[in-house]
């Protein structure tokens, strides 16, 4: 029988220390490569970010345009990345390409709107009708028996309603379907006339601003309620009050779940309301306050320019930007005429004046300024730092700044 030619297996001796060293070197090489790529990506991101903060534009090119029929009384809001437009006879929710998501018809003399999270509430000021809506449409309707002064909504759909009739203030809480959760009364001769309410994002904390005028003396009192565990053992769920003599506080709101701002005619007060409400910051106005605007991270104030530090006296206005704790971030003097000031969803500051638009970065750089040939109603940031959605008279334009 012939022998079969088979390859002979050979035993190779391995140096384990040398093998482990090669494995370590290989791993180190991979880590260095990953670190290098990550470093390059970070540097590129940093360059793009810095450029977006200092690059300026004075014109635009329209990339696409859609016709949009509206009435003169239509108001526009950004709601969860889409567009909510409302007027006296109804509300429409569309995407940025003007495709209808839902519409809600109603008849209101003076609709007031508040949004939080994925919910929006629309109430008829001095009327009796309230609609609760989310991204899918109407989920609740409320018909009050007293005239509505203010409505606020929380992230999960809880609605707070302030009503007033014959010197008596009425407070009610409802769930997102319109079911009543809690109520209370206030009397003008005891607590004062209610001016505004604020509702926390979780729907557990409520604040009311009362104005009391007696014998020519003005006093404003803020009452704080907690419907969670912190307020269960308190009388009427009241966890604190703060009074301010010779000052009117017509506007209060929660900028985050535990931080509330109270805008008076003399100063802005920042409260921490995580447990018992505490004053964290008081910002006195050195000149007349013209406009207050804010989002969940920043508070903006526009005042008459007093020619303070680092400001040109020739400028008419002084814009001051604070973080939600009341710490000054940036101040900027300017003379641009405006009718509306707001933070965009990317935290840029937008000033609108009919057909004129100015955008500032948080660094105080005037990023964009231009006069259009149409009235501008609303601006939404786009996919890059130079792209925006302009809602103008009769159309919606996707533009690139240049």
In whole angstroms, give the CA distance from residue 100 to residue 137: 11
Average pLDDT of the segment spanning 304-326: 81
Q: Is residue 238 part of a domain?
A: no
Q: Is residue 179's pLDDT more than 60?
A: yes
Which residues constitute the domain of residue 315?
286-402
Three-state SS sequence of 6-41: CCCCCCCCCCHHHHHHHHHHHHHHHHHHHHHHHHHH
Q: Is residue 397 part of a domain?
A: yes
Measured CA distances, 102 to 90, 138, 167, 196, 368 (Å): 11, 9, 39, 30, 33
Q: Is residue 22's pLDDT more than 90?
A: no
What pLDDT, on the 0 to 100 scale, is given for residue 49?
Answer: 66
What pLDDT, on the 0 to 100 scale, is given for residue 44?
Answer: 79
Q: Is residue 1's pLDDT more than 50?
A: no
The answer to whether the CB of 301 falls within 8 A of the CB of 320 is yes
The confidence band for 199, taking pLDDT boundaries of 50, 70 and 90, is very high
The answer to whether the CB of 317 falls within 8 A of the CB of 333 is yes
Minimum mean pLDDT range among 49-53, 115-119, 218-222: 49-53
Three-state SS sequence of 305-366: CCCCCCCCCCCCEEEEEEECCCCEEEEEEECCCCCEEEECCCCCEEEEECCEEEEECCCCCE
The confidence band for 233, taking pLDDT boundaries of 50, 70 and 90, is confident
| pLDDT tens, residue by residue, 366-399 | 999 999 999 999 999 999 999 999 999 999 999 9
What pLDDT, on the 0 to 100 scale, is given for residue 5?
Answer: 59
Q: Is residue 4's pLDDT more than 60?
A: no
| pLDDT tens, residue by residue, 41-90 | 877 777 666 666 668 999 999 999 999 888 778 999 999 999 999 999 99
What pLDDT, on the 0 to 100 scale, is given for residue 189?
Answer: 75
What angle (nearest 5°) sits at the alpha carbon of residue 302, between those of residues 253 and 338? Answer: 110
Minimum mean pLDDT range among 6-15, 102-111, 182-191, 288-297: 6-15
Q: Is residue 211 part of a domain?
A: no
Q: Is residue 16 part of a domain?
A: no
What pLDDT, on the 0 to 100 scale, is given for residue 360?
Answer: 96
| pLDDT tens, residue by residue, 94-105 | 999 999 999 999
Taking alpha carbons only, the member of 338, 265, 331, 254 closest to residue 295 is 254
Q: Is residue 362 part of a domain?
A: yes
Q: If DSSP codes are grouped into helix, strand and coil, which group holds residue 171?
A: strand
What pLDDT, on the 0 to 100 scale, is given for residue 167?
Answer: 85
Q: Is residue 296 part of a domain?
A: yes
Strands 289-294 and 278-284: unpaired
Q: Which of 167-178 are b and which e, b meaning 16 or more Cβ less than 10 Å from the residue's Cβ?
A: eebbbbbbbbeb
What pLDDT, on the 0 to 100 scale, is given for residue 39?
Answer: 84
Give the number of domains in the chain.
1
Q: Is residue 117 part of a domain?
A: no
Q: Which residue has the tokens 């029929």?
A: 69
Q: Is residue 105 part of a domain?
A: no
| pLDDT tens, residue by residue, 122-135 | 999 999 999 999 99
């Amino acid at each position: 029988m012939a022998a079969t030619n088979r390859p002979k297996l050979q035993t190779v001796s391995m140096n384990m220390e040398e093998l482990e060293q090669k494995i370590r070197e290989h791993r180190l090489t991979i880590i260095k490569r990953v670190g290098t790529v990550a470093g390059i990506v970070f540097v590129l991101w940093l360059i793009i970010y810095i450029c977006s903060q200092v690059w300026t534009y004075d014109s635009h090119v329209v990339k696409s345009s859609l016709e949009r029929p509206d009435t003169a009384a239509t108001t526009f809001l950004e709601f969860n990345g889409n567009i909510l437009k409302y007027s006296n006879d109804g509300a429409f929710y569309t995407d940025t390409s003007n495709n209808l998501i839902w519409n809600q018809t109603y008849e209101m003399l003076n609709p007031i709107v508040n949004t939080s999270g994925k919910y929006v509430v629309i109430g008829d000021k001095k009327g009796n009708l309230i609609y609760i809506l989310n991204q899918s449409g109407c989920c609740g309707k409320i018909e009050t028996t007293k005239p509505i002064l203010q409505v606020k909504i929380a992230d999960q759909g809880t609605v707070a309603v302030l009503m007033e009739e014959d010197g008596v203030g009425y407070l009610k809480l409802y769930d997102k379907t319109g079911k009543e959760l809690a109520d209370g009364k206030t009397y003008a001769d005891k607590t004062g006339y209610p001016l505004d309410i604020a509702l926390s994002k979780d729907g557990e904390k409520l604040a009311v601003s009362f104005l009391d005028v007696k014998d020519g003396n003005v006093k404003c009192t803020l009452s704080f309620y907690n419907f969670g565990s912190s307020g269960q053992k308190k009388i009427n769920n009241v966890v604190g009050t703060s009074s301010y003599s010779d000052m009117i506080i017509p506007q209060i709101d929660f900028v985050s779940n535990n931080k509330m701002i109270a805008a008076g005619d003399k100063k802005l007060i920042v409260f921490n309301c995580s447990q018992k409400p505490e004053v964290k910051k008081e910002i006195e106005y050195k000149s007349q306050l013209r406009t207050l605007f804010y989002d969940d991270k920043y508070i903006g104030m526009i005042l008459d320019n007093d020619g303070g530090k680092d400001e040109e006296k020739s400028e008419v206005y002084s814009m001051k930007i604070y973080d939600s704790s009341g710490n000054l971030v940036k101040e900027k003097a300017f003379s641009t005429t405006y009718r509306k000031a707001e933070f965009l969803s990317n935290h840029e500051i937008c000033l609108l004046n009919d057909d004129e638009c100015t955008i500032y970065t948080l660094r105080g750089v005037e990023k964009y300024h231009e006069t259009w040939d149409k009235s501008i109603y609303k601006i939404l940031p786009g996919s890059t730092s130079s792209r925006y959605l302009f809602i103008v008279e009769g159309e919606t334009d996707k533009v690139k700044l240049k």
